[in-house]
């Protein structure tokens, strides 16, 4: 199954456009897991993320582990085990590794192996700054996907993404155009576009109407959900809207799983209402 088909299936099967980001910060773990984290942060992170996945699975179509949160706590083994759980227990959900890799040659080949062979990712976020050479090793995995950084949610993205090309359009739109024309021949490419810039989501949708979008920036980052959904919706399954901290840390007490589930349900419902 092509990645584009897998993407559409996940959204349709789950009847959701929500992606739950897994950003496990040991300093913010719920109170019941803090003592565990002092003794074994690897186990605490795995327990926390598994609890979030079990609680939120009915309300989302994807999980997005951010590799830095695992690596900084030496919890790569936890991420490996969670990848197996995602594959075996949540087969209708996407597993998106947020790594933002962007190297070339044999280094890029090893990064691709890390994402797809070690962490079993359905897709990985990538940085296109070094061009097609940096993406080719990922595209060699024909059933897997890439989400190319296009118009990111941070203000500093303006430094380069808004620079005008010789065609007098901002660089981020050239990234979207090349992704649609050159990197999506096997239905593998998607774009990362931040919810903090809904007008620019509209512009990306015009340039790359068929590409799935991964949209961070709602919740803790303050993106306008209503405007984001209206800007990015190009048919059901055309985008995933990510929320991380607002769901993960909805409660720091004994009810952390129930609170996360409630936050995920509410976010899913809010997205549905905005799309109606």
Catalytic residue from among 100, 164, 167, 185: 100
State the residue for tokens 């209402």: 273
Q: What tokens were used for 233?
A: 């919706």
Closest to 82 (Cα-Cα) out of 99, 101, 95, 100: 95
230 is known as an active-site residue:
no
Closest to 242 (Cα-Cα) out of 68, 80, 66: 66
73 DSSP β-pair partners: none
199 CB burial (10 A radius; 0-12, 13-18, 19+): exposed
Continuous H helices in the chain? 3-14, 31-39, 41-56, 67-71, 76-89, 105-113, 132-139, 158-161, 171-181, 198-207, 225-232, 245-248, 256-275
Sign of CA dihedral 62, 67, 69, 70: positive
* Helix, strand or coil, per DSSP, at residue 26: helix
Q: DSSP for 79-94, please give it.
A: HHHHHHHHHHH-TTSE
**Residues taking part in catalysis:** 100
């Amino acid at each position: 199954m092509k990645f584009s088909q897998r993407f559409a299936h996940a959204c349709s099967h789950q009847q959701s456009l929500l992606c739950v980001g897994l950003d496990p910060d040991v300093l913010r773990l719920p109170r019941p897991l803090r003592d565990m984290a002092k003794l074994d942060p690897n186990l605490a992170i795995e327990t926390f993320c598994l609890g979030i996945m079990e609680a939120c699975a009915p309300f989302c179509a994807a999980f997005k582990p951010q590799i830095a949160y695992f690596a900084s706590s030496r919890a790569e083994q936890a991420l490996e085990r969670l990848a197996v759980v995602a594959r075996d227990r949540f087969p209708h959900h996407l597993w998106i590794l947020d790594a933002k890799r962007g190297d070339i040659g044999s280094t890029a080949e090893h990064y691709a192996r890390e994402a797809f062979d070690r962490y079993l990712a359905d897709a990985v976020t990538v940085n296109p700054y070094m061009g097609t050479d940096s993406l080719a090793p990922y595209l060699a995995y024909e059933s897997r996907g890439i989400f190319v950084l296009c118009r990111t949610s941070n203000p500093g993205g303006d430094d380069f993404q808004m620079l005008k090309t010789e065609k007098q359009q901002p660089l981020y739109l050239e990234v979207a155009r090349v992704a649609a024309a050159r990197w999506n021949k096997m239905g593998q490419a998607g774009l990362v576009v931040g919810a903090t810039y809904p007008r620019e989501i509209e512009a990306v949708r015009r340039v790359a109407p068929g590409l799935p979008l991964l949209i961070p920036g709602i919740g803790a980052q303050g993106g306008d959900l209503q405007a984001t959904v209206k800007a990015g919706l190009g048919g059901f399954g055309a985008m995933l809207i990510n929320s991380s901290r607002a769901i993960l840390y909805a409660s720091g007490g004994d009810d952390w799983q129930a609170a996360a589930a409630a936050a995920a349900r509410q976010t899913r419902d809010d997205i549905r209402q905005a799309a109606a």
